[in-house]
Amino acid sequence: MIVELGHFTLILAFAVSIFQTVVPLVGAHKGWPEWMAAAAPAASAQFLLTAVSFGALTFAFVTSDFSVALVTANSHTLKPLLYKITGVWGNHEGSLLLWVLILTLFGAMAAWFGGNLPPRLRARVLGVQSSIGVAFFAFILFTSNPFLRLESPPMNGGDLNPLLQDPGLAFHPPFLYLGYVGLSMAFSFAVAALLEGRVDAAWGRWVRPWTLAAWLFLTIGIGLGSWWAYYELGWGGFWFWDPVENASFMPWLISAALLHSAIVVEKREALKSWTILLAILAFGFSLIGTFIVRSGVITSVHAFANDPERGVFILFILAFFMGGAFLLFALRAGAMEAKGVFGIVSRESALVLNNVLLAVSCFVVFIGTIWPLLSEMFFDRTLSVGPPFFNAAFSPFVFVLAVALPIGSVMPWKRASIGRAMRQQLPAAVLAVAGGLLAYAVFTGHSAIGPVFIALAVWLVAGAVVDLFTRTGRGALGARLSRLTRLPRADWGKAVAHAGFGLTLFGVAALTTYESEDIRIARLGEAFDVGPYEITLTAVREHEGPNYIALMGTVEVARDGDLVSTLHPERRFYPVAGMPTTEAAIDNGVSRDVYVVLGEPQQGGFALRTYIKPWANWIWGGSIIMALGGLLSLSDRRYRVAAGARRQAEPKGVPAE
Amino acid sequence: MKRLLLILCLLASPLWAVEPDEMLADPVLEERARDISAGLRCVVCRNESIDESNADLARDLRLLVRERLVEGDSDDEVVDYIVERYGEYVLLRPTLTGSNLVLWLAGPGMALIGLGLAFGYLRSQSRRKAEGEAAPTGLSDAEQARLRQIMED
């Protein structure tokens, strides 16, 4: 019954989305206020209906209703509750439902917080947003219905893929989708602006928080995914340039470019048509990502739902929205003349450089990802494009970006001097060189690329500190420090995000250059050295989990005779899915991870792999700090001014909080 | 029953990547073998190098790489040997030949085009500034009127 209710509300949401596409857009075109005003309540209704539908599916999973085909295929009564819930989106149909839930959530938020938008723009934004909903509701209902029943329900289900039975599944996809789908708002604003035929500073101010929110969710989502792939074996480590990883990275790069160019629109009324183009592209790459993950056209370690027919449907959606938006862009972009003028050396031009580098690096990732496909189609060469290509082709862009960033970040608007900016960043440069030399001296005998990128990382972090400090103006140190606390949150956000980028770069450089590995047959009780650590496999015993059985090793990690940590790597077997998995055990640390993997029993011992992964956690720590910077920037006063002004206009009578 | 399952588990469980018994005694040769196998794709896997794959075929290839190295082949000779048997598909780093030049040059080419366009745009910007072009307000007549009305309120 509840399942049918979910199915029904999904169909209703589909109907509402059609209404919300047609009525406000017609209203905006004709100038009918009532028709335009219909958009906001429709957006709320659409979200609530989809939420009920999602709740119904979750209910079916939690209660293990095996009359639902999807539950049978992806769940089992013995599965822990957490994985019953996360199993809702651990499959194609359910994850799409989560996708539209977030899509309608963003639409509803635009309706709730968009009170300060001009009514016509607001109606158009909500109409366009809803048209995306129409496409995806149709996709779900006609090709991937999660509510299909089985005629004769089995006693139990087939269990979720054991690799997905991990807390990572609880957080990684929702954040990633918040990012992917959040970019639909930027797209809707861009198309609405094209329909309006004008883009001004106010548009820049409205679109930027949405982009910032999408970007920060994407940052967290990718960071979590990278962390998950790091500790889950068989997924190629923290970053593997796998097509699915690239699919999330491309919108991230474009949205990073977009949120920088939107600053130029907001502050200087320039780069308008370019910003519109980026907003369209960012969502385009989100759709391409959806296509890559679900079509099975490109092989990946992370794809779990592969169906070419569904791929074709997504391809049509992609072609429709991108084709329509680009056509509109070609017709209307010419009307958007820039107003602000600026010198060749200025913050504007630094942001243009940022955009060129980010957009071209995204293009490199894109062509590398689809090259196997193109090559087979047009040149009849079946080949692979793997990490060696991406490392070689992508790193130069990171290098240039990292070199230029601290200098560009201290440049003033309109007119700047490279010499002056470099003088301001001199302390950061000195620290960077010192950091690079230190890395070179401590780790002799490794590739020279490591120290170079470590120097760049120091340059970025120190450069962010300098940037923040120069914002305090002149005067005594004490006065400047006290002014530091009163700087706008946007300034803090910028510095924190840039420093986070530096920390991530540091983690990546240190891990990839200085990782050490040991593979051997370990006999019980026999100690051996890996780097500065003494490793002992003390016991291997059987262990029973809720829905698996395992061999669990006990590994003692000691340093200079003191026990640092006791680790328990496992080899699990999931009887229902009939699948074995290997669970690494990790001792997390600030400056290194000790990473232990238990292997086969052989020759009177067990195969044991030990890795020392230096500074690994900084990769994800940096991502979180980047996202934190985005959050700080998002909480800046200027985005709340309009909301505050509206609140004041309301009749008083309730005391302030 | 549990023990039986565990035995089954051990039988069914995959070999995980490089096993100790595969490794060569000579650390220099072993290091070279690892480097080579990190660049070769396991042809039956989704998207993994033979160095980290647990497939039987990947193990066979790892052993083959080591065999060739022990027999004195250079790194390139080993890679050529494998490519000859399994095709270009096994190379994770596409070669710099023929149509692949498009792939390798796409990035640098696009960067040059992008920087050129950006520079052209910036120059036209600054030239406009030199001419002292007055910035239009961008408001229509109706909006001008509305603005006046707001200012008067």
The interface residues of chain A toward chain B in range 358-417, judged by CB-CB distance below 8 A, are 359-361, 363-364, 367-368, 371, 375, 378-379, 381-389, 392-394, 396-397
pLDDT band (50, 70, 90) for residue B6:
low
A516 touches chain B (CB under 8 A): no
- Position A655 scores a pLDDT of 42
Chain A to chain B, count of Cβ pairs less than 8 Å apart?
181
- Nearest-neighbour CA in chain A from B73: distance (Å): 22
Instruction: Tell me: pLDDT of A650 over 50.
Output: no
CB contact under 8 A, B6 and A392: no
- Percent of chain A residues past pLDDT 70, beyond the cut: 95
- Position A177 scores a pLDDT of 92
**Spatial contact of A610 and A535, defined as CB atoms under 8 Å apart:** yes
Give the C-alpha separation, A541 to A202, whole Å.
65
B27 touches chain A (CB under 8 A): no
Structure tokens belonging to residue B85: 């048997």
* Domain B8-90 in CATH 1.10.8.640: yes
* DSSP secondary structure letter of residue A158: -
Q: What is the pLDDT of residues A364-387, one digit of tens each?
A: 999 999 998 889 889 988 888 999
Q: Which residues of A touch B18 (CB under 8 A)?
A: 519
- Position A459 scores a pLDDT of 96
Give the C-alpha separation, A171 to B79, whole Å.
41
pLDDT band (50, 70, 90) for residue B72:
confident
CB contact under 8 A, B106 and A367: yes
* DSSP secondary structure letter of residue A648: H
Q: Where do the structural domains in chain B lie, given as residue ranges?
A: 8-90, 96-131
CB contact under 8 A, B5 and A301: no
- Position A11 scores a pLDDT of 96
- Position A637 scores a pLDDT of 76
| Residue in B13, B43, B47, B139 to test binding to A, most A beta-carbons within 10 Å | B47
Q: Where do the structural domains in chain A lie, given as residue ranges?
A: 1-165, 175-407, 408-515+618-631, 516-614
pLDDT band (50, 70, 90) for residue A646:
very low
Q: Which residues of B touch A233 (CB under 8 A)?
A: 16
Q: What is the pLDDT of residues A530-541, one digit of tens each?
A: 989 999 999 999
The region of weakest confidence among A217-231, A334-348, A446-460, A463-477 is A334-348
SS3 A518: strand
* DSSP secondary structure letter of residue A589: -
- Position A615 scores a pLDDT of 93
Q: Using CA coordinates, name the residue in chain B closest to A380.
A: B99
* DSSP secondary structure letter of residue A87: G
Structure tokens belonging to residue A494: 């910028």
Average confidence (pLDDT) over A410-414: 89
Mean pLDDT over the full length of chain A:
89
Q: Which residues of B touch A575 (CB under 8 A)?
A: 5
Give the C-alpha separation, A126 to A161, whole Å.
38
- Position B16 scores a pLDDT of 58
Query: Would you state the CATH architecture of domain A1-165?
Result: Up-down Bundle (1.20)
Q: Using CA coordinates, name the residue in chain A closest to B44.
A: A299
Instruction: Tell me: pLDDT of A643 over 60.
Output: no
CB contact under 8 A, B118 and A356: yes
Instruction: Tell me: pLDDT of A436 over 50.
Output: yes
- Percent of chain B residues past pLDDT 70, beyond the cut: 72
Structure tokens belonging to residue A451: 């120290």
B85 touches chain A (CB under 8 A): no
Radius of gyration, alpha carbons of chain A = 27
**Spatial contact of A186 and A283, defined as CB atoms under 8 Å apart:** yes
Structure tokens belonging to residue A246: 């690239």
SS3 A148: coil
CB contact under 8 A, B41 and A349: no
Ramachandran angles phi, psi of A529, nearest 5°: -100, 135
CB contact under 8 A, B135 and A368: no
Structural element, H or E, at residue A544? strand A533-544
Neighbouring-strand partners of residue A572: A550, A581
Nearest CA among A429, A452, A451 for reference residue A440:
A451
- Nearest-neighbour CA in chain A from B25: distance (Å): 12
Structure tokens belonging to residue A229: 């792939």
- Nearest-neighbour CA in chain A from B135: distance (Å): 6
* DSSP secondary structure letter of residue A359: H
A243 touches chain B (CB under 8 A): yes
CB contact under 8 A, B13 and A234: no
Nearest CA among A142, A145, A162, A137 for reference residue A49:
A137
Distance from chain centroid for Cα A216? 7
pLDDT band (50, 70, 90) for residue A353:
very high
Q: What is the pLDDT of residues B29-66, one digit of tens each?
A: 888 998 898 889 888 877 788 888 888 888 889 999 99
Q: What is the pLDDT of residues A279-301, one digit of tens each?
A: 999 999 999 888 887 776 777 76
CB contact under 8 A, A344 and B126: yes
DSSP for chain B reads -HHHHHHHHHHHSPP-SS-GGGS-SSHHHHHHHHHHHHTBB-TTSSS-BTTT---HHHHHHHHHHHHHHHTT--HHHHHHHHHHHH-GGGBSS--SSTTHHHHHHHHHHHHHHHHHHHHHHHHHHHHHHHTTPPPP----HHHHHHHHHHHH-
- Position B11 scores a pLDDT of 47
Average confidence (pLDDT) over A516-533: 90
- Position B107 scores a pLDDT of 92
pLDDT band (50, 70, 90) for residue A485:
confident
Helices and strands counted in chain A (H then E): 21, 10
Q: What is the pLDDT of residues A488-503, one digit of tens each?
A: 899 999 999 999 999 9
Instruction: Tell me: pLDDT of B152 over 50.
Output: yes
Distance from chain centroid for Cα A209? 16
Q: Which residues of B touch A357 (CB under 8 A)?
A: 111
pLDDT band (50, 70, 90) for residue A303:
low
pLDDT band (50, 70, 90) for residue A155:
confident
- Position A569 scores a pLDDT of 93
Q: What is the pLDDT of residues A169-186, one digit of tens each?
A: 889 999 999 999 999 999
B101 touches chain A (CB under 8 A): no
Q: What is the pLDDT of residues B74-109, one digit of tens each?
A: 999 999 999 998 888 899 999 988 889 999 999 999
**Who has greater pLDDT, A209 or A638?**
A209
**Who has greater pLDDT, B59 or A360?**
A360
- Position A645 scores a pLDDT of 43
Ramachandran angles phi, psi of A571, nearest 5°: -120, 115
Give the C-alpha separation, A537 to A525, whole Å.
6
Of the candidates B5, B46, B126, the beta carbon closest to that of A575 is on: B5
Instruction: Tell me: pLDDT of A657 over 80.
Output: no
Q: Which residues of B touch A582 (CB under 8 A)?
A: 13, 16
- Nearest-neighbour CA in chain B from A478: distance (Å): 39
Judge residue B28's burial from the number of C-beta atoms within 10 Å of its C-beta, 0-12 exposed, 13-18 middle, 19 or more buried.
Answer: exposed
pLDDT band (50, 70, 90) for residue A651:
very low
Nearest CA among A641, A585, A580 for reference residue A613:
A585
Q: Which residues of A touch B17 (CB under 8 A)?
A: 609
Question: Which residue blocks in A159-237 are alpha helix, DSSP H?
Answer: 168-196, 201-231
Q: Which residues of A touch B49 (CB under 8 A)?
A: 386
B4 touches chain A (CB under 8 A): no
**Who has greater pLDDT, A106 or A642?**
A106
Instruction: Tell me: pLDDT of A461 over 90.
Output: yes
**Spatial contact of A390 and A368, defined as CB atoms under 8 Å apart:** yes
Give the Cβ contact number of residue A305 at 10 Å: 17
